[in-house]
Structure 1
Amino acid sequence: MLEFKNIKKTYHVGGIETKALDDISVAFREKEFVAILGTSGSGKTTCLNIIGGLDHYDSGELTIKGKKTSDFSDQDWDAYRNNSIGFVFQNYNLISHLSIIANVELGMTLSGVSSEEKHRRALEVLEQVGLKDHLHKKPNQLSGGQMQRVAIARALANDPEILLCDEPTGALDTTTSVQIMDLIKRVAKDRLVIMVTHNPEIAEKYSDRIIRFQDGKIISDSHPHQERPKPDSFILKKTSMNFLAALKLSFNNLRTKKGRTFLTALASSIGIIGIAVILSLSTGFQQQIDTFQSDAMSEFPIIISQTAMELNAENISSMQDRIKDKMMGTEEYADSKEVYLYDSAETTIAHKNIITDEYLEYLNNIDPEISNSIGYTRIVQMNMLREIDNTVTPVSISNIMTSMGQGMNLSNMSSMANIASMDEIGLSSYPERLREDEESYLVKNYDLLAGDYPTDPTEIVLVVDSKNRIDYNKLKALGFETENVTSIEFSNIIGTEFKIVSNNDYYIKTDMGNYVPGQDYEAMYDSENSIPVKIVGVVRQKQDVRIGILGTGIAHSDALSQMIIDDASNSEIVKAQQQSDKNVMSMEDMDEETKNNFLSYLGGNAAPFMVMIYPNDFESKDAVIDYLEAYNEGKDIEYQVFYNDLAGRMTELTGGIMDAITLVLIAFAAISLVVSLIMIGIITYTSVLERTKEIGVLRALGARKKDITRVFDAETFILGVFSGVLGVVIAWLATFPINTLLFNWTGLIGVANLQIQYAVALVVISTILTVLGGHIPARMASQKDAVEALRSE
């Protein structure tokens, strides 16, 4: 039962206004056809507003099935309109961009009825009102009477308890009016029908009860309701519109405005196009740089040196993080107008890597999948002799390491090793492989021009440059005739033999207590302690290898150096040098570093001066770095071993530059995204104005305020996705002419390359920004008064 008592205020029904109603007491029975008839001073039909909510009163009360409306929330009113009220409007109020079956289904959508059930019930009521053959037409394809039948079908679809009809025949001709009233009379058998009309003939012919109003007062009631006690049950099912339904509704609306939708999406996508093109070029150029660096620096080793270095205690942590803060621009900067003074000596630590047997074993246990070659550089002197024309003469392998060991300062060695590919200062010891089933460093990086690759530690090779050249002094030092000679046949070099003499045979102790090289070369050469070595091949760096560590001249394995050190470690001159702070040859005073270097030169120090770890490829370098970092974890700073990753530093630097350029360009392109956001807000507001009546219809059918917001959020969501996809597609298409132009200008192939992850991210960004831009107008739409919205044209 629906009952009004002592209502005093202005009310509306179906958008029709009435003045204050004094001392009204009206109750309606179930299954009753009531006609409310009469005029106020303004000549307008009077009744009460169910659409906007019957809680707008100053005194009195409205009771629905035993529950006072003063206790209703907004959601209770929404649910009541959806569950219990069916509206038939004078002007039909159908949503023009939906088919008639979709219009009928709309109220059930808000009730959460399943798709199958919703469609079945819509077909049923449309057949009931005689529109079975017009299911997929739009409202503008129907006559007035047909549109009113659709409105009645929509009102009946949710099986309401009350059918509220506002001038249902006001816009119809006489014949159609009779048809519609006959239809309404039939449906009145199952429910209460309240019809507002100012046509007395219709009221008298069809209604069971007529209530007349005049000047805001009830003047007659043909069949007053006599209330009798009965149990009232107030149960409401909350209404809601899921996002999928809102998407469908908004999509149908946008589909009716294809041209405007496309232009809006195109304008919104300009920023996305700009950013997508920038990212395409940035990614492509970075890939070109990475490819070049990978090719050019894949052979760059990670170098670990004994060289002493100065570390700033404040920066040790960033050094252990591979200097990433400085390279990536995340270093902290002071915000001050003062210059702060500090003593750098207080924060500086002199650090020297201690390469122990434990550390060397740790390195040798590295995973061969990430590094299969480790090179060791030692400064041990080789006491070499060669027999030429039956005469034994001393010869030497000229290289920078042995020169350093004789007394040169080694503090700059690590930086010099970084450019070890230069022919004159290249190393003479090549890396050893960690797995027998892998190619050796020499085979992988150097072509064999003549002879064989070495297979034994006592086999050595001659390294020439790309033009098969070598400094004549290096061959002269090896005993080859270079006077008035411009070239030497490979066959005259391969097979040349030398002997490396032990320290005990090579050095003799003088009466003054110092040691000097002996002169009896024949005896030294014939000694059983000598190590015979032979040149077995001539090699040259391969054309596709960018970096080679071997200098021109003799190259040998580290195993040969180990053999010499093992023999020399127990020699008399080494023992004497270990016990003396003077150079046992020149008798000059030496500091600790010079003494250690000289001991290494004599073969008395087994620790390598430098270790070079070669990643298997550029991608494996980070894994090697992580392995080296793992050794330092938990150790005091003095026992940690630092390394030099020149290739990594160069890569981070170039990568940081490209990232900075990309960010700056994106920042400029993002300005258009802000403009797009504002434009979407304006477009959405325009859509709200255009769809004001639709908002009123949705509210009359029980849509909540949040459902109205969701409808317009769904519309901006569709626009955002469409503009994002459109922008990405246009940007992708633009990469083809861009790549053609870049190829013609620079010779680079396929620079512009839009990555799928960037494309997806840009679509997401476009969607989010568009929804944000349209959300405020969407909220404005949800606050519109339903009655006022229905009045709009």
Structure 2
Amino acid sequence: MLELVDIKRSYNVGGIETKALDGVSVAFRQKEFVAILGSSGSGKTTCLNIIGGLDRYDSGELIIKGKKTADFTDRDWDAYRNNSIGFVFQSYNLIMHLSIVANVELGMTLSGVTAEEKHRKALEVLEKVGLKEHLHKKPNQLSGGQMQRVAIARALANNPEILLCDEPTGALDSNTSIQIMELIKEVAKERLVIMVTHNPELAQSYADRIIRFQDGKIISDSHPHVERPKADEFKLKKTSMSFLTALRLSFNNIRTKKGRTILTAFASSIGIIGIAVILSLSSGFQTQIDNFQRDAMAEFPIIISQSATTVDAESMKNMRKDMTNQNDGSFASTDKVKLYDPADTQITHRNIFTQDYLDYLNKIDPEICSSIGYSRLVSMNMVRKVEDKVIPVTLSSQSSTSGTSGNGQSGALTGSIGLSSYPKQLKTEEESYLTKNYDLMAGEYPVKSTDLVLVIDEKNRLDYNILQKLGFDTDGKDSINLSDIVGTEFKIVPNDVYYLPTQAGTYLPGNDYQAMYDSKDDITVKITGVVRQKEDVAMALLLPGIAYSDELSEMVIDSAQDSAIVKAQEKSDKNIITNEELTEDSKESFLAYLGGSATPYVIMVYPYNFDAKDAVTDYLDTYNEGKASKDQVVYTDLADTMSSLTSGIMDGITIVLIAFAGISLVVSLIMISIITYTSVLERTKEIGILRALGARKKDITRVFDAETAILGVFSGILGVILAWLATFPINTILYKMTELTDVAHLQIEHAVILVVISTVLTVLGGHIPARMASRKNAIEALRTE
């Protein structure tokens, strides 16, 4: 091993160990073959501080191209070794997992030579040393002489000023030694070659200058040289190793240990597998909950009615105190029953739907509100032609006849006022309410505002009264073909045609149905399809009967607002048909029934889910801020209780499970540290080689960081794949237990995040051993076998 020495003091030359020798003063010429002979007291080979183009003075200062080495930084030494010195070692010191071309290119890689130029120079020097036929072999496929030729080619590739040879023939037979020495002598014609050897015959045969050492002192110099002082000409290109190069080195090393790498990656991926499966289940269950919540929102919308009841908070508080006798802290002691009126604690508030409020409601964010439904009191004057005879028909729903429904309060509310309009989606690109919640049993889904649908229950049943009022013959029948219903047309007759004035100043419905049917102002509507609630939809809004869009109601109102009966009713305080006295409220309701008002009776707002429901209520509350009590609009939140019970449960469960699974990630972190440390021990000689070639400490760190990064990516991807494969049997088991389908679903974004986490944690776990590797002494590293 080369041991560099200096005068009167010991330096650490770029991480290479030095020994002090007394009275040594030697300088070298730029082009000569110098052989250094001799041994130290320990029997180890000793040589000068072999750095090309230096002057050494008795003052103890070491100067390279005019710059004192005392002023060198670590990066200066790294650059000097890379740019100015080529090393040829006795034991070759090749990196076994790289091809011979890659070995030769390595020094140039640190110099920042382009890939094309680097490859061209490597091929040139390999051809020069006679290895043209062995370019892509690995070092362990070559003989000793061939490996030494590779070492010489690597030393020459960066065109160094000095070729430093440490016993270059010490591990070779005689014939191969001669070939190598002839090659080195040829190289000496272009640069300074310094060879350290114990073989005086080699020195005598090939060297231009021979320096003999004994016991750490020069005993002879065959051709001493004295160099004059030089100006500072120290200009070197700094060395660096890109992360891509570090990745390639580490990947080639990992590839030689496939079995261990796979086992390591699998062990490291266990934590990722656990978290990935938890996230898959969590997202799947959350999707199921979201779907249920959306269905629930259809059944439990936020209802805003023209007439609402609210409770005064202060009155409620006082009432509670009275009821619990909290004022004096004791129960009442009396033989009398105290009477009170609960109505005293309630305020009946009438909501006024101004145009300003309706405009505000229509501006609600579609991201939090899926749809808005309107119930209007307008009556539709309808006739139908049956077998060449025109008859009047009535549009009604089941609740209009029975008053009850299994589909809940919102549907009953809609039906109780004789309407059954489906909500309008706020996002036009989204699937409509009907197609999302109802199967088409016959015909087509409505496309136009004049299209109607007939809603039947899950058993294909429908109250016969509904069809009878629509003009269908139900006498003695227990069923009707769906095809006989689809395509049925009706005419909605304008007020001025339907209602006729009387001599008493009132209006009555006419009986000339043919004239009504023939009116050019009629609105033709048609039943385009028959729909039924989907099996996988837990709750749906529409009651059995005719359902239509709110746009149709608006069309009828637009037609009726300027009609004679509406104008007459606006001027009269009596019912224009029955001549009965009307209160203010009943007059407004009757005007709405005649189509004289477009103000909805009830508005139903459907949030996307429970979280969005809170945003919707906040939006509604914002409108009331700063307004007097009479101008505020009060709503009823039917889903509030359900929301408070389920909010955050799934998130809490997920966090707890991930925390438990995260323990395995900590174990993986420790394991990666151990594995990286083992890799550092295994690649100690490689560290020494890289340092000798001019690699910086941060480059060594980068090599091992790159190795852990590769392991992290591999283990992350492996964990994600295994977790994804595990979702199939998990889904099968869950389906058998709960009949829920596709619960475990690994989302792409979760997979990407887990791979990133795996990579980051693995790099962190291996960084400390990587820093340890960068601090290794090059001489000690190269001695490692």
User: Normalization by structure 1: what TM-score?
Assistant: 0.70
Which letter does structure 1 place at the counterpart of 2:357?
Y
Please state whether the residue corresponding to 1:149 is helix, strand or coil: helix
Whole-angstrom distance in 1 between the partners of 2:10 and 2:257: 39
Q: Over residues 555-591 of structure 1, what are the superposed CA-to-partner deviations in whole Å (9 max), with x where a residue is unaligned? A: 998678987886544333599xxxxxxxx99xxxxxx
Shift of 1:728: 1.6
| Match of residue 733 from structure 1 | 725
User: Given the superposition, is the C-alpha separation of residues 462 and 39 from structure 1 closer, same or farther in structure 2, using an over 3 Å criterion?
Assistant: closer
Shift of 1:673: 1.4
1:147 aligned onto 2:147: yes
Q: Over residues 82-116 of structure 1, what are the superposed CA-to-partner deviations in whole Å (9 max), with x where a residue is unaligned? A: 00000111111111111111111110110111111
1:665 aligned onto 2:657: yes
Shift of 1:117: 1.3
1:529 aligned onto 2:519: no
| Match of residue 129 from structure 1 | 129
The correspondence for 1:544, drawn from 514, 524, 533, is 533
Shift of 1:742: 3.4
| Match of residue 108 from structure 2 | 108
| Match of residue 188 from structure 1 | 188
| Match of residue 391 from structure 1 | none
Shift of 1:370: 12
CA contact (8 A) 1:83 1:237 kept: yes
| Match of residue 353 from structure 2 | 355
CA contact (8 A) 1:304 1:642 kept: yes
CA contact (8 A) 2:399 2:543 kept: no
| Match of residue 9 from structure 2 | 9
Whole-angstrom distance in 1 between the partners of 2:707 and 2:164: 31
| Match of residue 570 from structure 1 | 571
Shift of 1:138: 1.5
Please state whether the residue corresponding to 1:210 is helix, strand or coil: strand
User: Given the superposition, is the C-alpha separation of residues 200 and 247 from structure 1 closer, same or farther in structure 2, using an over 3 Å criterion?
Assistant: same
User: Given the superposition, is the C-alpha separation of residues 261 and 541 from structure 1 closer, same or farther in structure 2, using an over 3 Å criterion?
Assistant: same
Shift of 1:417: 11
Q: What pairs up with 1:76-91 in 2 under 5 angstroms?
A: 76-91=76-91
User: Given the superposition, is the C-alpha separation of residues 131 and 766 from structure 1 closer, same or farther in structure 2, using an over 3 Å criterion?
Assistant: same
Whole-angstrom distance in 2 between the partners of 1:307 and 1:539: 35
Shift of 1:610: 2.1
Which letter does structure 2 place at the counterpart of 1:547?
A
User: Given the superposition, is the C-alpha separation of residues 447 and 706 from structure 1 closer, same or farther in structure 2, using an over 3 Å criterion?
Assistant: closer
Shift of 1:659: 3.3
Whole-angstrom distance in 2 between the partners of 1:627 and 1:574: 38
Which letter does structure 1 place at the counterpart of 2:418?
S
Q: What pairs up with 1:629-644 in 2 under 5 angstroms?
A: 629=619, 636=626
User: Given the superposition, is the C-alpha separation of residues 49 and 764 from structure 1 closer, same or farther in structure 2, using an over 3 Å criterion?
Assistant: farther
Q: Over residues 496-527 of structure 1, what are the superposed CA-to-partner deviations in whole Å (9 max), with x where a residue is unaligned? A: xxx9x9xxx9xxxxxxxxxxxxxxxxx99997
Whole-angstrom distance in 1 between the partners of 2:586 and 2:58: 107
Shift of 1:285: 3.4
Which letter does structure 2 place at the counterpart of 1:702?
G
Shift of 1:602: 6.5
Whole-angstrom distance in 1 between the partners of 2:783 and 2:758: 36
Please state whether the residue corresponding to 1:420 is helix, strand or coil: helix
Q: What pairs up with 1:448-463 in 2 under 5 angstroms?
A: none
1:688 aligned onto 2:680: yes
Whole-angstrom distance in 2 between the partners of 1:122 and 1:750: 57
User: Given the superposition, is the C-alpha separation of residues 596 and 99 from structure 1 closer, same or farther in structure 2, using an over 3 Å criterion?
Assistant: farther
| Match of residue 221 from structure 1 | 221
Shift of 1:118: 1.1
Which letter does structure 2 place at the counterpart of 1:570?
K
CA contact (8 A) 1:420 1:550 kept: no
CA contact (8 A) 1:712 1:778 kept: yes
User: Given the superposition, is the C-alpha separation of residues 374 and 743 from structure 1 closer, same or farther in structure 2, using an over 3 Å criterion?
Assistant: closer
Please state whether the residue corresponding to 2:236 is helix, strand or coil: coil
User: Given the superposition, is the C-alpha separation of residues 780 and 641 from structure 1 closer, same or farther in structure 2, using an over 3 Å criterion?
Assistant: farther
Q: Over residues 171-193 of structure 1, what are the superposed CA-to-partner deviations in whole Å (9 max), with x where a residue is unaligned? A: 22222222211111110111111
CA contact (8 A) 2:716 2:756 kept: yes
Shift of 1:699: 0.3
| Match of residue 319 from structure 1 | none
Whole-angstrom distance in 2 between the partners of 1:456 and 1:229: 100
How big is the alpha-carbon RMSD for the aligned residues of Structure 1 and Structure 2?
A: 5.9
Please state whether the residue corresponding to 2:21 is helix, strand or coil: coil
Which letter does structure 2 place at the counterpart of 1:548?
L
Q: What pairs up with 1:341-352 in 2 under 5 angstroms?
A: none
Which letter does structure 2 place at the counterpart of 1:256?
T
Whole-angstrom distance in 1 between the partners of 2:730 and 2:422: 47
Which letter does structure 2 place at the counterpart of 1:543?
R
The correspondence for 1:717, drawn from 696, 699, 709, is 709
Please state whether the residue corresponding to 2:237 is helix, strand or coil: coil
Whole-angstrom distance in 1 between the partners of 2:372 and 2:647: 28
Whole-angstrom distance in 1 between the partners of 2:143 and 2:620: 82
Aligned sequence identity (%): 63
CA contact (8 A) 2:687 2:778 kept: yes
Which letter does structure 1 place at the counterpart of 2:695?
A
1:118 aligned onto 2:107: no
User: Given the superposition, is the C-alpha separation of residues 566 and 253 from structure 1 closer, same or farther in structure 2, using an over 3 Å criterion?
Assistant: farther
Shift of 1:9: 3.5
Q: What pairs up with 1:769-780 in 2 under 5 angstroms?
A: 769-780=761-772
| Match of residue 409 from structure 2 | 419
Shift of 1:784: 0.9
User: Given the superposition, is the C-alpha separation of residues 367 and 233 from structure 1 closer, same or farther in structure 2, using an over 3 Å criterion?
Assistant: closer
CA contact (8 A) 2:26 2:56 kept: no
User: Given the superposition, is the C-alpha separation of residues 110 and 370 from structure 1 closer, same or farther in structure 2, using an over 3 Å criterion?
Assistant: closer
Whole-angstrom distance in 2 between the partners of 1:610 and 1:58: 105
CA contact (8 A) 2:107 2:693 kept: yes
Which runs of 5 or more residues in structure 1 are unaligned? 314-347, 383-394, 405-415, 476-484, 506-522, 576-583, 586-594
| Match of residue 418 from structure 2 | 428
CA contact (8 A) 1:15 1:790 kept: no
| Match of residue 75 from structure 1 | 75
1:243 aligned onto 2:236: no
Whole-angstrom distance in 1 between the partners of 2:782 and 2:96: 14
With 160-169 and 752-761 compared, the bigger mean Cα shift is at 752-761
Please state whether the residue corresponding to 1:152 is helix, strand or coil: helix
Shift of 1:623: 13
CA contact (8 A) 1:420 1:426 kept: no
Whole-angstrom distance in 2 between the partners of 1:61 and 1:100: 39
Whole-angstrom distance in 2 between the partners of 1:241 and 1:565: 88
Shift of 1:169: 1.6
Size of the aligned set, in residue pairs, is 680
User: Given the superposition, is the C-alpha separation of residues 658 and 531 from structure 1 closer, same or farther in structure 2, using an over 3 Å criterion?
Assistant: farther
Q: What pairs up with 1:239-388 in 2 under 5 angstroms?
A: 239-291=239-291, 294=294, 297=297, 303-306=303-306, 353-360=351-358, 375-377=373-375
User: Given the superposition, is the C-alpha separation of residues 295 and 111 from structure 1 closer, same or farther in structure 2, using an over 3 Å criterion?
Assistant: same
Whole-angstrom distance in 1 between the partners of 2:478 and 2:294: 37
Whole-angstrom distance in 1 between the partners of 2:72 and 2:312: 72
1:785 aligned onto 2:770: no
Shift of 1:768: 1.2
User: Given the superposition, is the C-alpha separation of residues 549 and 9 from structure 1 closer, same or farther in structure 2, using an over 3 Å criterion?
Assistant: same
| Match of residue 43 from structure 1 | 43
| Match of residue 94 from structure 1 | 94
Which letter does structure 2 place at the counterpart of 1:571?
S
Shift of 1:298: 5.3
Q: Over residues 724-761 of structure 1, what are the superposed CA-to-partner deviations in whole Å (9 max), with x where a residue is unaligned? A: 11112222222333333334444444333322222222
Shift of 1:309: 7.1
Shift of 1:29: 0.9
Please state whether the residue corresponding to 2:7 is helix, strand or coil: coil
Whole-angstrom distance in 1 between the partners of 2:453 and 2:718: 63
Whole-angstrom distance in 2 between the partners of 1:446 and 1:262: 51
Whole-angstrom distance in 1 between the partners of 2:26 and 2:347: 96
